[in-house]
Amino acid sequence: MASLEYLGMLPFLLLIALAGIQLGIVAYCGSQAATAARTAARTAGEAGQYGGPAAGRAAGRAAVSGWVKPAIDYPREDPGSITASATVRVPSVLPGVHLFKPIHRDATMPKEDTP
């Protein structure tokens, strides 16, 4: 009798486990988006051949896990600082069900003065 009750509760337990895994993926994507934005802004603010927006995009993508694939752009550039924005699409544990919007993080870093 107890095994039948357990089998009846199993779908609910699996659904709760999938929800926990999905929330963990959302938190991880948020962390990765922040890392990509911070790294892109820091690298784009460097002077010389290793800095600039293109190098920042490459560094931001290289700083995160390969499956995350952030989209990086630079919405604002002041004389003394540069802002990088990273957007990460949250994958779903259930194929075809996308409950979460893409995660967007910004980071602003000072520019280097000397090349």
Residue 115 lies in a domain: no
Residue 43 lies in a domain: yes
Question: What's the token pair of residue 102?
Answer: 């893409």
Of 112, 114, 106, which Cα lies nearest the Cα of 88?
Answer: 106
Strand order in the sheet with 71-77: 71-77, 81-88, 103-110
Residue 70: count of CB within 10 angstroms of its CB: 28
Residue 47 lies in a domain: yes
Residue 52 lies in a domain: yes
Q: How far apart are CA 23 and CA 96, in angstroms?
A: 17
How confident is the model over 64-101, as pLDDT tens digits?
Answer: 999 999 999 999 888 889 999 999 999 999 888 888 99
Residue 94 lies in a domain: yes
Q: pTM of the predicted model, to two decimals?
A: 0.85
SS3 46: coil
* Domain region containing 65: 2-110
With a cut of 80, say whether residue 1 has pLDDT above it: no
Task: Work out the average pLDDT over 6-26.
Answer: 91
Number of domains in the chain: 1
